[in-house]
Amino acid sequence: MAQSARERARPALPRVPALAVLAHHLVAYRRTWRAGLLSSFLLPVLTVLGFGVGVGAYIDQGVDGVPYLDWVVPGLVASTAVQTAVSESMWPVFGKFRWARTYVAQSAAPLRVGDILGGHLAFVTFRVITTIAAFLLVTGVFGALRPSWSAAALPVAALLGLAVAAPTFAYASVVDVDSWLAMLLRFAVLPMTLFAGVFFPVESLPTALRWLAYATPLWHGVELCRAATLGVAAQWPVAGHLLYLVAWAVAGWLLARAAFRGRLVV
């Protein structure tokens, strides 16, 4: 049977429908990227001045024989990746369910739950990559990075961002009020940033807190970024750190897909 004119006029989806969702987010970001451009470059400058000229001046011997600025920058790279991923995964996801209802509109199109989720997660990963690329560029200009394998910190940051973004998607899609998102920042993201080895070695913590730090994805990201930028061995085998982050990303994906399906599939 010949197709009707309406069917012929309907635009075809790409071979990978999630790319259409990613394109939607990129088009929206094209209108707002300038607002975050200054902060993307200002944050690493303030980091170099604050920790290099400020805190670093009071730590003569550095950490493990490494100047404090060089030691802390990879930790800040990892923590910035986490904060970027979480901020892009809380209110944006909650709002697309509760306020703008964007996900509902997308589900009315010929898009599966996995396409909607995968396209948005791809955009969050893009935001992490661009933010960390700017961070590495500025801190590298200031001499806060050692040559070695510093560029490897970028894919590590992307994996770390995905490892925290996916479970955050699941969380943001099931809470009823946005005040629960602030609770996540206060009781999960902030303590993780303070005690996961970003600013001081976790070995200085009591044993119980040390193992809590080991359980966080941020500590594994910090270890990998530090190994890349300083050229030192991580506490665990690199494969172990990577597999742990992959496990977080996969578990988060499964939880988020189940939560999205519960909200979108009737």
pLDDT in tens, the chain (266 residues): 444 444 444 445 556 789 999 999 999 999 888 877 777 788 888 877 887 767 777 776 677 778 888 899 999 999 999 999 999 999 999 999 999 999 999 999 889 999 999 999 999 999 999 999 999 988 888 787 877 688 899 999 999 999 999 999 999 999 999 999 999 999 999 999 999 999 999 999 999 999 999 999 999 999 999 999 988 888 889 999 999 999 999 999 999 999 999 999 86
- The candidate with the shortest Cα–Cα distance to 115, out of 24, 32, 33, is 24
Write down the pLDDT at residue 43: 80
Is residue 153 situated within a structural domain? Answer: yes
DSSP result, 175-197: -SSTHHHHHHIIIIIHHHHHHSS
Write down the pLDDT at residue 266: 66
Write down the pLDDT at residue 2: 47
Is residue 4 situated within a structural domain? Answer: no
Between CA 18 and CA 257 the distance in angstroms is 14
- The candidate with the shortest Cα–Cα distance to 217, out of 257, 144, 166, 151, is 166
Domain count, the chain: 1
Write down the pLDDT at residue 8: 47
Is residue 49 situated within a structural domain? Answer: yes
Is residue 10 situated within a structural domain? Answer: no
What Rg, from alpha-carbon coordinates, does the chain have? 20
Residue 245 makes CB contacts below 8 A (sequence gap 6+) with 159, 160, 162, 163, 217, 220, 221
Does residue 252 contact residue 166 with C-beta atoms inside 8 Å?
A: yes
pTM for this predicted structure: 0.90
- The candidate with the shortest Cα–Cα distance to 127, out of 46, 220, 201, 25, is 25
User: CA–CA distance from 113 to each of 110, 175, 259 (Å)?
Assistant: 10, 18, 10
Is residue 2 situated within a structural domain? Answer: no
Is residue 1 situated within a structural domain? Answer: no
Is residue 100 situated within a structural domain? Answer: yes
Is residue 12 situated within a structural domain? Answer: no
Torsion sign (Cα): 193, 194, 200, 205: negative
Structural domain of residue 46, as residue ranges?
Answer: 17-24+37-264
